[in-house]
Structure 1
Amino acid sequence: MKEYALIVAGGKGTRIKSSTPKQFLELDGKPVLLHTLEAFYRYSENIHIILVLPADDFATWEMLCTRHKFHKPLILQRGGDSRFQSVKNGLDKIDGDGLVAIHDGVRPLIHEDIIGASFRLAAVHKSAVAAVRLKESIRMTDQDTTKAMDRSRFRLIQTPQTFQVDLIKKAYSLKEDDTLTDDASVAERAGHAISLFEGSYENIKITTPEDLVVAEALLRSRKGRG
């Protein structure tokens, strides 16, 4: 099947306390977003990438591509007012069927093995969502009381979230609401079962200043192993 990657990068850097959108912050000498894209090209030079950015960020992206000599082929698409709308806009750029991995642009440490696993499993199950087990105990709160929960029954959801193109396109014809927090929840609302597979604890999302520090350390560790 034809393989697509839809990279959504519309963050504004609010929680990371930066005037620079977090996808453009420097990580080991390159923008966070560039690390993300390079991971998908390491997986396959033949993958079709759609990059969704706010229209106001197009010029910044072109300048960064020139500065870092990044000339890989991709389709640039204008984002919407929400992640839901941005993904929907990105999906509109796909003609025909195949498989699409939808991934957060600020998860730069995604490994090509995880990307490959998502496509292989989605080819069989029509969906494949990266997830990891909880490491710590959790409690459910209800006003003034709390209750211990069995952490083995829960998973932390990551991206990529990979789907058969036709399935996820039809799912995104649903009306948007605040409970649809990721692509899996959209597909599930449309009546589709969601298949999880083992992600990676290294596949962190850059949200806070501490995340950048951790990401730098993980990149140095990878270089040491490589």
Structure 2
Amino acid sequence: MPQNFVIIVAAGTGSRIGGNLPKQFLNLDNKPILMHTIEKFENSASKPEIILVLSNLMQDFWDSQCKEFNFTIPHSKTVGGLTRFQSVNSGLEFIKSNYKIDENCKIAVHDAARPLVSSHLIDELFQNCNLAKPAIIPAVKSSNSVRIGNQNDSHAVDRETVWLVQTPQVFMADLLVQAYQQEEESTFTDDASVVEKLSNNVYLIPGDPQNMKITFQEDLVIAQHLFDKSKRYL
């Protein structure tokens, strides 16, 4: 049985990017963003079992996309919920129902719309996750000045203490399963915040500035430029 898993969360609507098609299904470098994302995990040395969480409405569409692009990387599918918390929990329930989880199992959670994640970063996260450090996340330092507050009342903070969090986030399986037994809260913005609620430390490793999340239309242009740049060095 596999010891590594990744839950790729792809059930969102991607409303901020505009259009009728969720962003993870938009084409980047001549194929859907989601296919690039899956390929990065397939090409990693960690070789996690890939669990894809899709909305119920997009299940058949994804199957048709796989046929159209002859996409054959093995992966399992499950149905997501209305929120990210619910979708990750659906992925965890799928793993619990179909695999035996032991103390050595590790589970990553990744945003479908981060296709530029490197296989090197994936492997580094899995390698650094262990029983002593059961929650490992990538993050990059802020290069901008940072203020906390609102438009009428704010104050500056030391940007050296500010980290911009990325995915994948990797956890020992038992810890992540336990964390997702909690009731959902509005403060749960990512999986690290869910685990942290259990009074667990979350450990950071340097992320990758190119591991961007495609959110807006202009992000597609930037991502395509980065793809073109990387191919020049192959």
Q: CA deviation at 1:45?
A: 7.9
Matched, 1:79 2:86: no
Give the letter for the 1:40 counterpart: F
Q: Deviations over 1:46-75 (max 9, x none)?
A: 421100000110011000100111112111
2:118 is aligned to 111
Instruction: List runs of 5+ in structure 2 lacking aligned partners.
Output: none
Shift of 1:177: 1.2
* Cα distance in 2, alignment partners of residues 45 and 117 from structure 1: 9
CA contact (8 A) 2:46 2:123 kept: no
2:175 is the alignment partner of 1:174 = no
2: distance between equivalents of 1:31 and 1:154?
33
- The equivalent residue for 1:19 is 20
1:30 CA displacement: 0.5
CA contact (8 A) 2:41 2:47 kept: no
Tell me the number of residue pairs that the alignment of Structure 1 and Structure 2 aligns: 226
SS at match of 1:166: helix
Residues 73-120 of structure 1, C-alpha deviations (whole Å, 9 max, x = no match)? 111010011100000010112231300110000000000000001101
What are the residue-to-residue correspondences of 1:183-202 with 2, within 5 Å?
183-202=191-210
Distance 2:149 2:50 in 1: 41
Q: 1:1-226 alignment to 2 at 5 Å?
A: 2-44=3-45, 46-94=47-95, 95=99, 96-97=101-102, 98-123=105-130, 124-142=132-150, 144-226=152-234
Higher mean alpha-carbon deviation, 9-18 vs 194-203, is at 9-18
Measured against aligned partners, the alpha-carbon deviations of 1:13-47 in whole angstroms (never above 9, x if no partner) come to 31111111111000010100000000000104842
Runs of 4+ in structure 1 deviating by more than 3 angstroms, as ranges, are none
Q: Distance in 2 between matches of 1:132 and 1:176?
A: 27
**By how many angstroms is 1:143 displaced?**
5.6
Task: For 2:177 and 2:195, locate their aligned partners in 1 and report how far apart those are by CA, in whole Å.
Answer: 9
* Paired-residue identity, %: 39
Question: Quick check: 1:121–1:127 contact (8 Å CA) kept in 2?
Answer: no
- Distance in 2, matches of 1:145 and 1:171, equals 34
Shift of 1:144: 2.7
CA RMSD of aligned residues (A): 1.4
Partners of 2:11 and 2:47 lie apart in 1 by: 25
Instruction: Give the C-alpha shift of residue 142 in structure 1.
Output: 4.9
Tell which deviates more after alignment, 186-195 or 117-126: 117-126
Residues 129, 136 of structure 2: 8 Å contact kept: yes
Verify the 8 A CA contact 2:6 2:110 in the aligned structure 1.
yes
What TM-score, normalized to structure 1?
Answer: 0.96
The TM-score, its normalising length taken from structure 2, stands at 0.93
Gaps in structure 1 of 5+ consecutive residues: none
State the alpha-carbon separation in 2 of the partners of residues 36 and 52 from structure 1. Answer: 13
